[in-house]
Amino acid sequence: MSDQLSTVLVVDDSAFMRKLISEMIESSGEYRVVGTATDGLDALEQIRTLSPDIVTLDIEMPRLDGLQALEQIMREMPRPVVMLSAAGSERGNEMTLRALDRGAIEFVRKPSGPISIDLLAVREALISALNAARAVNMAGVRTPPNAAAPVLSDEPRKRGITAATLVVAIAASTGGPRALGEIIPHLRENLEAAVLIVQHMPREFTRTLSHRLDVMSSLPVSEAEDGEPLRENQVYLAPGGFHMRVGGEPGNAAIHLDSAPTIWGVRPAADPLFVSVAEVFGAAAIGVVLTGMGRDGAEGLRRIRDAGGLGVVQDRDSSIIYGMPQAALALAGADRVAAARDMPRVIRDLCRTKQRTIGG
């Protein structure tokens, strides 16, 4: 039995944390910790020696930090890496998102102590991340992202002032931040649609992600606010911990946030957004399902297409995890299947198609 277990190397500069993380991993009965490392340099040596299937990698460490170690791992001996992040550090949040851009599969908040109330939640998140790592498409990870240059103009970008009559709703989970970084910055200022994103991620990380995308993009990107009117040429990211829906009617719609129970184990979930978009915008809606574990967004995409809207799913080759796109394609079908780097063109073309229909 043991030789069938996926092997894991645990990297952390804290002896206590190495022990705690190792115990969490082995308690699952699905993984075996083959070694531990105290920093990035030690990790590189251990990977060369032990060749683990998966690496858990602390971000902030002496000598060689997690981000530097990750870059060397991906360059020399690529394999699934799960980042471990300490709570409460804005620098740590930013480094975590940079790690996801550079090939890390997922990230997990480290427990705050041996008897912390979040210990069970951390264990569940860690095993979930390892499961994602075990299912990863490394070819998608190793393909360089189609990154956009940051928007550097000193002129403040104008937020949309025209009420949205067309909506693009996007669902993303594991691998999503990297895919969104390939898509959102390449959408043009004249999209003439509102873009709504659900990315499975805790609150402090959605805040950091929205800021990073905003800096890179021609379209303004922000965390959505409850009651906010829906404007075209504006990107709204659901804040972690809240489901996002839309209400009203095309041309007079608003965002609604709520803390209803989790769906598919997450909040925000994409299905509530997609279903509300189908109900409010009907045929004037485009649903996009990107990389991720599970099946969130599949039922919602079916509802959008049943209402006359269009559906797009990310292709297998560019998906870091093909679970969500595969489930959506099986249940809802799709009008387009595309790689992440081709999504901006696909979204633009479908928006133009819908605009002609709406205008007609």
Nearest CA among 103, 82, 63 for reference residue 10 = 82
Q: Which one-letter amino acid corresponds to residue 181? A: G
Does 268 sit behind a cis peptide bond, omega within 30 degrees of 0 on the bond before it? yes
Task: Pick left, alpha or beta for residue 327 (phi over 0 → left; psi -120 to 50 → alpha; otherwise beta).
Answer: alpha
Phi, psi of 313, deg, nearest 5:
-130, 150
Q: Answer yes or no: 211 catalytic.
A: no
Q: What is the largest CA-CA distance in the chain?
A: 66
CA distance 89 to 125: 19
Using a 10 angstrom Cβ sphere, with 0-12 exposed, 13-18 middle and 19 or more buried, the burial of residue 91 is exposed
Q: Answer yes or no: 200 catalytic.
A: yes
The tokens 């990230």 sit on which residue? 107
End-to-end CA distance of the chain: 64
Number of H helices, E strands in the chain: 12, 14
DSSP string, 20-49: HHHHHHHHTSSEEEEEEESSHHHHHHHHHH
What are the beta bridge partners of residue 182? none
Q: Answer yes or no: 118 catalytic.
A: no
CA 186 to chain centre: 17
- Of the candidates 200, 217, 256, 318, the residue annotated as catalytic is 200
Q: Which one-letter amino acid corresponds to residue 194? A: A
- Of the candidates 13, 39, 271, 296, the residue annotated as catalytic is 296
CA distance 281 to 129: 35
- Of the candidates 173, 217, 276, 318, the residue annotated as catalytic is 173
Non-local CB neighbours of 11 within 8 Å, separated by 6+ positions: 36, 37, 38, 39, 40, 42, 43, 46, 55, 56, 57, 58, 61, 66, 69
CA distance 212 to 205: 10
Active site amino acids: 173, 200, 296
